[in-house]
Structure 1
Amino acid sequence: MMVEQPILSVRNLSKQYGEGCLHCQQSNPKLEKNYCPVCKTVYACRDISFDLYRGEILGIVGESGSGKSTFMKSLYFDENVTTGEGYLQDYKDGKVNIFTESSQMKRQIRNMLLGMVYQNPILGLKMDFSSLSNIAEKQIAAGNRHVGNMEARSYDLLQHVNIPLHRSKEAPKNFSGGMQQRIQIAKALSNNPPLLLLDEVTTGLDLSVQADVLDLIKSIQREFNISMIVVSHDLAVIRMLADRTIVMLNGEIIEHGLTDQVLEDPQHSYTQQLVYSLL
């Protein structure tokens, strides 16, 4: 019997800001949340481990400062991890730690195998370039040099995310927040990545626009069978999208499991507080 291999395995990922000291590097350090009161080191992520399977959506939930966005930036190489291992099945058969690869190889992984949708579209889009150019930029980075193919792919994706084609040559700065997020999604999909990372993509959007963006994400996942990691502080978003959920607090995973299980029968007191605050 063949055992399904995870598309992404992460083991003991940690990210700290500061050198650390004897006080905070002992086996059971007394931190103030994720902060060392002695040397001022911040432990944004501590020993994060999980597996993600093909076609699965993994939700990550937690309050501001819990480490979830730092974790996503680490996966997309916007931040260098302090320690830890990561293995992508589509990169060297999942046998090489992506976090220890060279900057050049990390760029290749990012361009070929990952898509990212940021909470703030300014981080993911060039606001003065046309929507078409933004999508083409990702394709060029992934090695596409055929202008006709790039243009056709860009138009197809804009249609897919419900951006009117007559506005394809407009700059994203002229669009609403919801449209900017949809352009980011189109750009992230342009290189056919097996893994899509979405960081608080509905924050700040009107409720009706949030619903449109969430419906779009769900339809993309069904159509392309793409794996996703979705970060949100909004449990309603996680409930709608995620197959499994990780709960983070002070840089650590405090609970994980099937989304229904975590939200219907939370075990950790913090998760209980999160869930019951919505009731």
Structure 2
Amino acid sequence: MSDYETPIMSVKNLSKHFGEGCSNCRDVNENHLIRNFCPDCGTVYACRNVSFDLYPGEVLGIVGESGSGKSTLMRSLYFDQDVTSGEAYLRSYEMGSKNVFEESSQKKRYIRNHLMGKVYQNPMLGLRMGFSSIGNIAEKLIAAGIRHVGEMESKGRELLEYVNIPVYRMKEAPRNFSGGMQQRVQIAKALSNNPPILLLDEVTTGLDLSVQASVLDLIKELQRELNVSIVIVSHDLAVIRMMADRTMVMLDGKVVEHGLTDQVLEDPQDRYTQQLVHSLL
């Protein structure tokens, strides 16, 4: 089996619950829940046994309405929150032999700083708005173990030019930038450690259409040039159609459909996916 046929990331039965659960819902009794909410104890089953593989150089799209579990899944993958249960294996970490969800906080930080990058929907979660743009990139490089100031400045300048941030503004704070420019600084920061996996969570939400297009074009160009594997979350099917090789559809914390993007969008099998696609026709 070639490297391209071996997943770069495998996620198995990832579940995230907000609440302790009760005897009526702890075994995720489908008939008892109201969508993904237990009316007796208030537990929310945000992700329910989500499984998927991500392959080298692939863009995997995740689509679904608000509250479907998309962003919870992304926060779990980047260790922004702990999972309730499940497994995840990275080919570039311990040869894919260790469930990264069970690793120590120190090892999770290593994975975040060396093997993954993330771009948040809200730039305030991914950037320090009072730091300079190049300072934000330096922060990520320092976390990855780089200490040479000249190397950090050279890398930061190169990345900011790469994402079309004018060099004369590299020492300016992102709080002075437009939303599209802030997202481009986030992308530069996320790519600074040359991660094999990039997580993009609703990166175009709230941006003007022309700015959305430029950000997506940049991501496509970077993906082609760097051959990075991407998981992109969106509620916008047009974004998924443009970006993704394969698509997962989520509803109430579950994956209801999964396949090649063209198949999912042109011939949806699940009733919810059909409604989602037809609502845009």
Do the structures match in fold with TM over 0.5? yes
Q: C-alpha distance in 2, partners of 1:207/1:214?
A: 11
For structure 1, the 5+ residue unaligned runs are: none
SS in 2 for 1:204: coil
Q: Structure 1 CA distance, aligned partners of 2:263 and 2:29? A: 30
- Name the CA distance, whole Å, in 1 between partners of 2:10 and 2:267: 26
Aligned-partner Cα distance in 1 for 2:203–2:27? 37
In structure 2, the partner of 1:278 is: 280
Secondary structure in 1 aligned to 2:168? helix
Structure 1 position 2, deviation (Å)? 4.4
Residue 193 in 1 paired to residue 205 in 2?
no
Q: Which residue does 1:181 correspond to in 2? A: 183
CA RMSD in angstroms comes to: 0.9
Distance 1:178 1:45 in 2: 30
- Structure 2: gaps (5+ residues): none
**What TM-score, normalized by structure 1, do the two folds share?**
0.99
**How far apart are the structure 2 equivalents of 1:2 and 1:260?**
25
Tell whether 2:236 aligns with 1:234: yes
Superposition TM-score, scaled by structure 2 size: 0.98
Q: Which residue of 1 aligns with 2:81?
A: 79
Q: Give 1:260's aligned residue.
A: 262
In the TM superposition, what are the counterparts of 1:219-230 in structure 2 within 5 Å? 219-230=221-232
Task: Work out the CA distance in 1 between the residues paired with 2:270 and 2:49.
Answer: 18
- The CA deviation string for residues 44-85 of structure 1, in whole angstroms up to 9 with x for no partner, is 000000000000000000000000000000000001000000
Q: Distance in 2 between matches of 1:78 and 1:154?
A: 25
Partner deviation per Cα, 1:117-149 (whole Å, 9 max, x = no partner):
000000000001000000110000001111111
Stretches of 4+ moved more than 3 A in 1? 26-29
Q: Deviation of residue 26 (structure 1)?
A: 3.3
Identity of aligned residues (%): 71
Matching residue's letter, 1:14: S
Secondary structure of 1:23's match?
A: coil
Paired position in structure 2 for 1:170: 172
Letter aligned with residue 60 of structure 2: L
Distance 2:2 2:193 in 1: 29
Q: Aligned residue for 1:6?
A: 7
* Cα distance in 2, alignment partners of residues 226 and 216 from structure 1: 13
Instruction: Give the match for residue 138 of structure 2.
Output: 136
Equivalent pairs, count: 279
Alignment of structure 1 residues 1-279 onto 2, 5 Å: 2=2, 4-26=5-27, 28-29=29-30, 30-279=32-281
